[in-house]
Amino acid sequence: MEIPYTVENRPDTGIYNAKVGIWLFLASEVMLFGGLFSAYVLLRVGAPEGHWPHGWLDVRFGTINTILLALSAITTLLAWAACKVREFGKFKFFHACTILLALTFLGIKSYEYHDKWIHYEIQLKDGTFADGHLEEQNDKEVVLHGRIVKDEKDLYDLRAQKDIQLGEVKIDLANIVKMQNYGPWHNTFTAIYFTLTGLHALHILGGTLVIFYLWGPGSKMYKTDPERFTNRIEVSGLFWHFVDLVWIFLFPVLYLT
Amino acid sequence: MQPNVEQFPPHRAETDAHAAHGHGHDDHSHGHDEHHHQPNFWTQYIFSTDHKVIGIQYGLVSLSFMLFGLFLMVMMRWQIAHPGVPVPVIGSLLAAVLGQPAAHGIISPELYNSFGAMHGTIMVFLGVVPLAFAAFGNYVVPLMIGAPDMTFPRINMASFHAFFLGGLVMLVSFFIPGGAAQAGWTSYSPLASTIPTDGQAFWLVGMVLLITSSLLGAVNFIATIIQLRAPGMTWMRLPFFVWAQFVTAFLLLLAFPPLEAAGLLQLMDNVAHTSFFLPTGLAVSGPVGQASGGGSPLLWQHLFWFLGHPEVYVLILPAMGIVAEVIANNTRKPIWGYKSLVYAALVVGFLSFIVWAHHMYLTGMGQGIATFFQATTMIISIPSVVILTCMFLSLWGGSIRINTPMLFALGFLPMFGIGGLTGLPLGLAAADLYLHDTYYVIAHFHYVVAPGTIFALFAGVYFWFPKMTGRRMSEFWGRVHFWCSFVFMNLVFMPMFAQGIKGMLRRMSDGGVNYSAARVPGVIDTLPGTVMEMNTWILWAAIGLGLAQIPFIINLFWSISHGEKVNSDNPWHATTLDWQTPTPPPHGNFAHEPHVVRGPYDYSVPGAANDFCPQNEPGVQAPRPAH
């Protein structure tokens, strides 16, 4: 039994099945990320004055990642175009680029996660706060590469403070009230940062796996049914462009504001 | 199965793509087609990609879940009527299976909360939606539009498996330490994050699986209806049932993701100890907790009800579709106001996205917002009434055939009417302040869903059973099932209106005994004795309702092999394409590709040979102009 319009367009709707499917799926994805962005807006608007962090994320990494995804959008398009004009070698090259760009993106993202993971805020008994990357921890003391501030509020807006002096800070364990790294549990910003970028990274990972399959074992179909294969590249490309688009929103929302 | 029917469209083996090139391998490729392998039990019934098998899988699993939900309800009604008294007959079984929460066969308040939360979850997400949307939609929609299958058969199978897995996770959560989720089917935060049980995490994981299943299903349904309509099946020739499923699929597609987002955030709250929904300074029976705070409990409610209200129409629209089909067929005349029905369904679908906050009048979200949602809530009742009115008017002047499906469809009309009209006071903020969270609310939405939607689903089961099996269900036992269900449904839910108006709150595990005692007599009214007595009446009515399903269960399984055989493919003399297939339809459905030449309800066309003209029957009669 054959399902009609898997490859060719249905005359009256002018579209093939999988393309309808992916657009519908993307509509639901818009609602998914729309819900999360709404949550972001509501939480940020509801945050007390001066408590929303600024400048916690490295804009340089964010910019590089934005450029990587933008380039991968171009290579995805070129890979599809190469399929369309039946130039298999070019297709292989462009999608190899897509996969490498995506993996580099994930690598940089993991580095950023790691950077937050080893970043600690320590509340001290005298009411001050130590803050910085964990260098060493033994049963007597904790060594941070960071600084000590009088008020926790001074840790929120890093963009307003131009010349932050970082150095080695040694803290006696007995002096510590509370020690917590910048994980999702740290505050609302890290929570939404890890959730949004984590879900996005999962989408990147899923998209990369699909593209890798179509680039590797799945490309056998090119020899037998090139039109259907080209459709697959198009449909996976549509998903990939959506994932890029989500990042275009995430970058300013999390890094720049 | 009829092995010799010429299948439409001709075979093309997926495994042998040469066939697509027209290399002349078509005949040869038949041998490779997966459907020509000897089907074993697993490929035929468990990993089937045939929409009809998947529909039946969904149907049987969701009916089982509904039975389980009914069992939970009876247990809760026992505890409400006789708080602290061991459950008779199966109390020891409960104690043995569930351990401490059911010690000595007594349902503890914690267990009551679990049962309450899971009753709601199971009935909505594992019972009614899968039965109304996935089961009937899967079985009937491709047949009605003249398609060989769904657009994405393998995604269809994946959708069922995700659903099954989600149901399994929900069931397993009863047996983990701490028990199943206890925060109600609405899972309001911070309650859902502070009850010490992992059941909530199970609930959330289960919901993510169920949502995934619904999304895959919704994509499939919409793509199928857009792409696979048979030649001549224009949009305004679609049976109303297909329109209802189409709108429902859009609701699922667009309303479920925000709940998935909310579920992810709550899962982060429960597992990664974030504070998306936990306010600053939250203290639970002790000092302020360690959570970072800064979250918003209101955010959960907004995200939940953004799904929650469209969900109501997900529950009701497919039911309306079934009722429209059954009524048109049994009044032997066109459904009254086909176009009004279609446009009303579309308007309902759109408006259902902007009424959600009428569940939240008591949250202090602000009067301005409440006024807006009050207005939209009043407006959405208009298209709902249009649909109901069209169905009532369809009865007028018809020569009505009374049979079991028609009885259930006729029962649906007043029951849904009661459910809908009692919703109006809840949609008005001033009245809702008093009625909110009382048994009035329970009575209201159960009238919509239980004797409303579920009656329509029963109508559908009796109506399409001959197409699925080639046999009819017993008419006598069908009527017994209907009348007993009808009487007991009303005995269960009608008293709840009175209880609610008298101020009895929902979610009280002892049926209001402590609440009543804690109120100051003479200053604040205690609950009157009759209100408390009603708990006992409702218990017996609920047990009666449970017993009334026995004839149905026996009838369903007995009739598969022993029912009266139908003597044609179209035993109800229906017009829609689902009855123009072989019985039961083979893989691929139609013997010849149907060409649709007329609207869906050409009953009693003047001058025609029969009182029904199937949609694909080319007749000399000019097609009747649409209404």
- The residues spanned by each domain of chain B are 48-276+294-579
Chain A hits for B289, Cβ within 8 Å: none
Cβ B257–A183 below 8 Å, yes or no?
no
Under 8 Å between Cβ of B463 and B434: no
Q: Is the pLDDT of residue B27 over 80?
A: no
What residue has token string 């994930």?
A: A106
pLDDT value for B511: 85
Alpha carbon B289 to chain centroid distance?
39
- Please, what is the Cα angle at B487 between B494 and B495, to 5 degrees? 15
Q: How confident is the model over B345-360, as pLDDT tens digits? A: 999 999 999 999 999 9
CB atoms near residue A224 (< 10 Å): 14
| A184 to chain B: closest CA residue | B274
A104 touches chain B (CB under 8 A): no
- Please, what is the Cα angle at B297 between B293 and B302, to 5 degrees? 140
Q: How confident is the model over B389-416, as pLDDT tens digits? A: 999 999 999 889 999 999 999 999 999 9
pLDDT value for B33: 43
Out of B48-57, B224-233, B249-258, B610-619, pick the least confident.
B610-619
Distance CA A46, CA B279 (A): 11
Q: Which of residues 36-75 of A touch B (CB under 8 A)?
A: 36, 38-39, 42-43, 46-48, 51
Q: How confident is the model over B426-484, as pLDDT tens digits? A: 999 999 999 999 999 999 999 999 999 999 999 999 999 999 999 999 999 999 999 99
Alpha carbon B403 to chain centroid distance?
23
| 3-state secondary structure (DSSP) of residue A81 | helix
* Residue B586 region by backbone torsions, left for phi larger than 0, else alpha for psi between -120 and 50, else beta: beta
Q: Which of residues 390-449 of B touch A (CB under 8 A)?
A: none
Which pLDDT band holds residue B520 (cuts at 50, 70, 90)?
A: low
| 3-state secondary structure (DSSP) of residue B146 | coil
- Please, what is the Cα angle at B27 between B232 and B224, to 5 degrees? 30
A184 touches chain B (CB under 8 A): yes
Chain B hits for A11, Cβ within 8 Å: none
Q: Count the alpha carbons within 13 Å of B199 in the hemisphere toward its beta carbon.
A: 31
Residue A124 backbone phi and psi in degrees, to 5: -100, 165
pLDDT value for B44: 83
Alpha carbon A253 to chain centroid distance?
12
- The residue-averaged pLDDT of B607-620 equals 86
Cβ A195–B257 below 8 Å, yes or no?
no
- How far from each other are the two terminal CA atoms of chain A, in whole angstroms? 55
Question: Considering Cα of B331, then B333, then B337, then B343, what sign does the dihedral take?
Answer: positive
B254 touches chain A (CB under 8 A): yes
Domains of chain A: 34-44+57-116+186-256 (1.20.120.80), 119-181 (2.30.30.100)
Cβ B151–A17 below 8 Å, yes or no?
yes
Give the pair of three-digit tokens for residue B579. Answer: 């009855």
pLDDT value for B7: 42
Q: Is the pLDDT of residue B110 over 80?
A: yes
Among candidates B255, B268, B294 on the partner chain, residue whose Cβ is nearest the Cβ of A184: B268
Which pLDDT band holds residue B23 (cuts at 50, 70, 90)?
A: very low
Q: How confident is the model over A87-120, as pLDDT tens digits? A: 999 999 999 999 999 999 999 999 999 999 999 9
pLDDT value for A153: 87
pLDDT value for A186: 94
B253 touches chain A (CB under 8 A): yes
Under 8 Å between Cβ of B242 and B144: yes
Q: How confident is the model over B167-217, as pLDDT tens digits? A: 999 999 999 988 999 999 999 999 999 888 899 999 999 999 999 999 999
Q: How confident is the model over B272-300, as pLDDT tens digits? A: 999 999 998 888 877 777 788 889 999 99
Chain A hits for B275, Cβ within 8 Å: 185, 187-188, 191
B260 touches chain A (CB under 8 A): yes
Cβ A31–B257 below 8 Å, yes or no?
yes
Chain B hits for A51, Cβ within 8 Å: 294
pLDDT value for B205: 96
pLDDT value for B345: 97
Q: Is the pLDDT of residue B147 over 70?
A: yes
Closest CA to B390 of B306, B316, B443, B327: B327
Mean pLDDT of chain B: 90
| A37 to chain B: closest CA residue | B261
| 3-state secondary structure (DSSP) of residue B85 | coil
CB under 8 Å to B31, separation ≥6 — which residues? none
A-to-B residue pairs, Cβ atoms closer than 8 angstroms: 154
CA distances from B522 to A105, B498, B526 (A): 70, 21, 8
Below-70 pLDDT ranges, chain A: none
Percent with pLDDT over 90 in chain B: 78
List, as one string, the DSSP characters of B541-572: HHHHHHHHHHHHHHHHHHHHHHSPBPSSS-TT
CATH architecture, domain defined by B48-276+294-579 = Up-down Bundle (1.20)
A14 touches chain B (CB under 8 A): no
Closest CA to B56 of B163, B162, B134: B134
Give the pair of three-digit tokens for residue B34. Answer: 């997966």
Environment class of B58 (CB within 10 Å of its CB; exposed 0-12, middle 13-18, buried 19+): buried
Distance CA B420, CA B290 (A): 45
Distance CA B587, CA A3 (A): 12
Q: How many residues does chain B have?
A: 627
| 3-state secondary structure (DSSP) of residue A134 | strand
A224 touches chain B (CB under 8 A): yes
A202 touches chain B (CB under 8 A): no
Residue from B33, B215, B292, B596 whose CB has the most chain A CBs within 10 Å, to mutate? B292
CB under 8 Å to B286, separation ≥6 — which residues? none
Shortest distance between the Cα of B535 and any Cα of chain A, in A, equals 41
CA distances from A161 to A55, A119, A156, A165, B250 (A): 10, 19, 10, 10, 49
B159 touches chain A (CB under 8 A): no
CA distances from A154 to A50, A148, A198, B274, B527 (A): 9, 10, 27, 22, 56
Shortest distance between the Cα of B290 and any Cα of chain A, in A, equals 10
Q: How confident is the model over B502-511, as pLDDT tens digits? A: 889 898 888 8
Q: Is the peptide bond before B239 cis (omega within 30 degrees of 0)?
A: no
